[in-house]
């Protein structure tokens, strides 16, 4: 039986790109059973375009306004994606493929990521790669997402503890190129304040021994000046607290993020060895290590 896949997009003032993005979702070789869009208070013609697309779509198409009013942009974006994933799961989706409002999906994206998750039925998440595309003459971009967020080439061969240690210090997934199995998250779907959804979900997937790293290119990732949250390379090279806590801007937030790792992530771990990595003692050792 083929998995039921829903596409989840979050939009904000997306009138320049959303038609092309939705077209790339609809033209998949394996079509989603639902398209779910969460709009974050757009003030341009995004909603008008979405309603037009909804009326024309051959695929069931649901639009909701974002329920989060958080001022922190990271928290609000994460909440929007949580809202979309939960709605998609409530509509019957087994798998949820995530998308940004300005990216273009390659036609085999859904079929490729579904096949990878079908090969590992206990996996929670697959993180694929994407081409970086600049927005006209204003922004130049080249290379791939994985070039910005490198992952060990032998990821599937290293131990779960080594995977967790790496993920605590490095971003390994971009939400717009990822697919989730939401019912396997066992309480880890809600994202703590101050965390990006893809950062938190990748940590949950790793501690539950369910992260697949895919080198395949599945999207064209638009790099443009107005992005609310774009590619950030700092986490990959920093050390100590800033890497472990996800580059929180101040010590209080860093400490709170360490608390999230200990209090919310640790209970989800699949083994005593993984739980030990999230003990206060081990976290503090990581905090002071280079």
Q: Is residue 164 part of a domain?
A: yes
pLDDT of residue 285: 79
pLDDT of residue 227: 53
Q: Is residue 156 part of a domain?
A: yes
Q: For the chain, what is the domain count?
A: 1
Q: Is residue 99 part of a domain?
A: yes
CA distance 213 to 216: 9
Residues in Cβ contact with 224 at an 8 Å cutoff, skipping those fewer than 6 apart = 102, 134, 135, 138, 139
The CB-based long-range contact list for 44-48 (8 Å cut-off, 24+ gap) reads 44/13, 44/14, 44/15, 45/15, 46/11, 46/12, 46/13, 46/14, 46/15, 46/18
CA distance 93 to 89: 5
pLDDT tens column, 164-179: 999 999 999 999 999 9
Q: Is residue 270 part of a domain?
A: no
Q: Are 145 and 129 in contact (CB under 8 A)?
A: yes
Query: How many CB atoms are located within 10 Å of the residue 5 CB?
Result: 23
pLDDT tens column, 198-210: 999 999 999 999 9
Helices 197-207 and 160-169: angle between axes, nearest 10 degrees: 160
Backbone angles phi, psi at 190, to 5 degrees: -65, 135
Q: Are 130 and 103 in contact (CB under 8 A)?
A: yes
Q: Is residue 268 part of a domain?
A: no
Domain that holds residue 99: 5-232
Angle at 234 between CA 229 and CA 237, to 5 degrees: 150
pTM, full prediction = 0.91
Q: Is residue 286 part of a domain?
A: no
CA distance 223 to 70: 25
State the alpha helices, DSSP H only, in 100-191: 109-119, 145-148, 160-169
pLDDT of residue 230: 56
Q: Is residue 247 part of a domain?
A: no
Q: Quick one: residue 289, left, alpha or beta (phi over 0 = left, psi -120 to 50 = alpha)?
A: beta
Question: What is the CATH classification number for the domain harbouring 168?
Answer: 3.90.550.10
List the beta bridge partners of residue 237: none
Q: What is the pLDDT along the chain (290 residues), one digit of tens a residue?
A: 678 999 999 999 999 999 999 999 999 999 999 999 999 999 999 999 999 999 999 999 999 999 998 889 999 999 999 999 999 999 999 999 999 999 999 999 999 999 999 999 999 999 999 999 986 544 556 799 999 889 999 999 999 999 999 999 999 999 999 999 999 998 899 999 999 999 999 999 999 999 999 999 999 999 876 555 555 544 444 444 455 555 555 677 788 999 999 999 999 999 999 999 999 999 887 766 64
Per residue, the 3-state secondary structure of 12-80, as one string, reads CCCCCCHHHHHHHHHCCCCCCCEEEEEECCCCCCHHHHHHHHHHHCCCCEEEEECCCCCCCHHHHHHHH
**Structure letter (DSSP) for residue 262:** I
pLDDT of residue 239: 45
Q: Is residue 98 part of a domain?
A: yes
């Amino acid at each position: 039986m083929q998995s039921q896949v829903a596409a989840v997009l979050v939009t904000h003032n997306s009138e320049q790109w959303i038609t092309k993005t939705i077209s790339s979702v609809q033209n998949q070789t394996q079509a989603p059973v639902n398209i779910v869009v969460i709009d974050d208070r757009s003030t341009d013609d995004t909603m008008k375009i979405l309603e037009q697309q909804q009326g024309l779509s051959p695929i069931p198409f649901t639009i909701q306004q974002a329920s989060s009013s958080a001022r922190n942009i990271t928290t609000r974006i994460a909440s929007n994606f949580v809202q979309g994933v939960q709605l998609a799961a409530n509509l019957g989706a087994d798998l949820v493929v995530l998308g940004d409002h300005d990216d273009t999906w390659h036609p085999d994206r859904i079929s490729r990521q579904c096949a990878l998750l079908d090969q590992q039925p206990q996996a929670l998440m697959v993180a694929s790669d994407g081409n970086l595309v600049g927005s006209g003459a204003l922004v130049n971009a080249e290379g791939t997402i994985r070039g910005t967020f490198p992952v060990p080439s032998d990821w599937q061969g290293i131990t779960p503890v080594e995977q967790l240690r790496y993920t605590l210090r490095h971003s390994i997934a971009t939400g717009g190129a990822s697919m989730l199995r939401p019912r396997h998250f066992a309480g880890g779907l809600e994202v703590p304040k101050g965390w990006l959804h893809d950062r938190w979900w990748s940590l949950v997937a790793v501690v539950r021994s369910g992260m697949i790293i895919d080198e395949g290119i599945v999207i064209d990732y638009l790099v443009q000046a107005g992005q609310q949250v774009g590619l950030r390379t700092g986490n990959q090279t920093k050390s100590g607290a800033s890497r472990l806590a996800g580059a929180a801007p101040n010590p209080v937030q860093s400490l709170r993020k360490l608390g999230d790792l200990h209090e919310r992530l640790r209970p989800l771990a699949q083994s005593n060895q993984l739980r030990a990595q999230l003990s206060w003692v081990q976290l503090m050792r990581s905090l002071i290590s280079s």
